[in-house]
């Protein structure tokens, strides 16, 4: 009753109040969290490769350590569009610093450090909400990634040990080194060593709102299909583990020149490393609603 009395005596305020009320109702009817149709995602992905080993410099570059690679990070930024309360699609850019897997990264008196090769990709995602309003709550979906790496140049460093190895943790070995004896070299190939990739992943995660404009994302991804294309051959991730696969067709001889050993005798380190960096992944991110 008070509302109608207010309306009767304040017709101009009635118009403004009614307009505000209808606008509020319209925003509640829109898809998306608090009516937001678009959101921006920043994400960090980690692939825990406890059986992959590498050498690296530690203690302000005064020591060489060889051990497990527990965190292998990639970084993603993307924009997403809410289609309706149960569906979201998006596009992202993903950057992955690739380091090769070595089964021989040290000798009795020297250590070898593989410098990174970058893998860049464009990612298209589809998300289906299990509960809540898109993109809040539990969700599952698919990622479609198109990527590329180029290994025309390969940089590596050799360090000289100045002590016997010490056990650090459960699986790591560490040597003091002679910093003045560190040698860094670059091997260049006349033929670009390019790997193009197409990867399909299953996604499952959850988004928790922490503010009307911000939310936290927790998720995991599992690769369903990994396709690699080099100038010499197109193959899938499954074929890399086939004993009959002809690795010599990959054209990665540039690593032989540097004396870099990998799991399969120098034959396909770049494709194999991209494959392993796109294995089971744990992801955390921050989402901003526009």
Give me the long-range contacts of 239-244 (CB less than 8 A, separation at least 24): 240/268, 240/271, 240/272, 240/275
- 268: pLDDT strictly greater than 90: no
- 192: pLDDT strictly greater than 70: no
Q: Of 215, 194, 267, which Cα lies nearest the Cα of 42?
A: 215
- 19: pLDDT strictly greater than 70: no
Using 50, 70 and 90 to split pLDDT, how confident is the model at 4?
very low
Using 50, 70 and 90 to split pLDDT, how confident is the model at 101?
low
Expressed in angstroms, the distance from the first to the final Cα of the chain is: 38
* Orientation angle between helical segments 11-29 and 2-9, nearest 10 degrees: 120
Question: Number of C-alpha atoms within 13 angstroms, CB side, residue 55?
Answer: 26
Q: What per-residue confidence (pLDDT) applies to 14?
A: 43
**232-249 burial by CB neighbour count: b if 16+ within 10 A, else e?**
ebebebeebeeeebebee
Q: What per-residue confidence (pLDDT) applies to 84?
A: 83
Token digits for 92? Answer: 């992202």
Residue 209 pairs in a beta bridge with 215
Q: Which residue has the higher pLDDT, 289 or 57?
A: 289
Give pLDDT tens digits for 104-156.
456 667 777 766 788 999 999 999 988 767 778 899 999 999 999 887 666 77
Per-domain residue ranges for the chain? 38-289
- 284: pLDDT strictly greater than 60: yes
- 181: pLDDT strictly greater than 60: yes
Phi then psi dihedrals of residue 216, to 5 deg? -100, 140
Tell me the mean pLDDT in the region 46-52: 77
Using 50, 70 and 90 to split pLDDT, how confident is the model at 5?
very low
Residue-averaged pLDDT of the chain: 76
Q: Are 67 and 49 in contact (CB under 8 A)?
A: no
- The maximal CA–CA distance of the chain, rounded, in angstroms, is 94
Percent of the chain having pLDDT more than 90? 29
Q: Which residue has the higher pLDDT, 59 or 18?
A: 59
Q: What per-residue confidence (pLDDT) applies to 236?
A: 85
Phi then psi dihedrals of residue 249, to 5 deg? -75, -5
In whole angstroms, how far apart are CA 66 and each of 94, 167, 185, 249, 262?
A: 28, 10, 20, 31, 14
Using 50, 70 and 90 to split pLDDT, how confident is the model at 246?
low
Give pLDDT tens digits for 195-222.
899 999 999 999 999 988 999 999 999 9
What is d(CA 142, CA 151) in angstroms, rounded to the nearest whole number? 29
């Amino acid at each position: 009753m008070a509302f109608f009395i207010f309306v009767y005596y304040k017709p101009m305020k009635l118009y403004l109040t009614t307009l505000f009320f209808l606008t509020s109702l319209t925003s509640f009817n829109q898809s998306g969290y608090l009516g937001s149709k678009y959101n921006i995602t920043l994400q960090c992905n980690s692939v825990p490769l406890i059986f992959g080993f590498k050498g690296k410099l530690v203690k302000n570059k005064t020591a060489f350590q060889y051990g497990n690679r527990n965190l292998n990070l990639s970084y993603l930024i993307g924009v997403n569009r809410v289609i309706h309360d149960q569906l979201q699609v998006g596009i992202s850019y993903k950057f992955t610093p690739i380091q090769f897997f070595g089964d021989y990264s040290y000798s009795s008196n020297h250590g070898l450090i593989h410098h990174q090769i970058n893998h860049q990709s464009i990612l298209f995602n589809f998300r289906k909400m299990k509960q809540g309003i898109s993109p809040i709550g539990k969700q599952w979906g698919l990622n479609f990634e198109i990527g590329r790496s180029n290994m025309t140049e390969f940089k590596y460093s050799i360090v000289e040990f100045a002590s016997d190895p010490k056990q650090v943790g459960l699986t790591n070995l560490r040597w003091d080194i002679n910093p003045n004896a560190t040698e860094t070299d670059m091997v260049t190939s006349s033929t670009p060593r390019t790997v193009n990739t197409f990867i399909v992943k299953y996604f499952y995660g959850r988004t928790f709102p922490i503010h009307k404009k911000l939310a936290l994302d927790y998720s995991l991804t599992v690769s369903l299909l990994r396709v690699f294309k080099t100038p010499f051959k197109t193959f899938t991730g499954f074929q890399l583990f086939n004993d009959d696969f002809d690795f010599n067709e990959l054209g990665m001889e540039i690593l032989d020149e540097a004396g870099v050993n990998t799991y399969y005798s120098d034959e396909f380190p770049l494709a194999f490393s991209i494959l392993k960096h796109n294995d089971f992944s744990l992801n955390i991110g921050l989402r901003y609603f526009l």
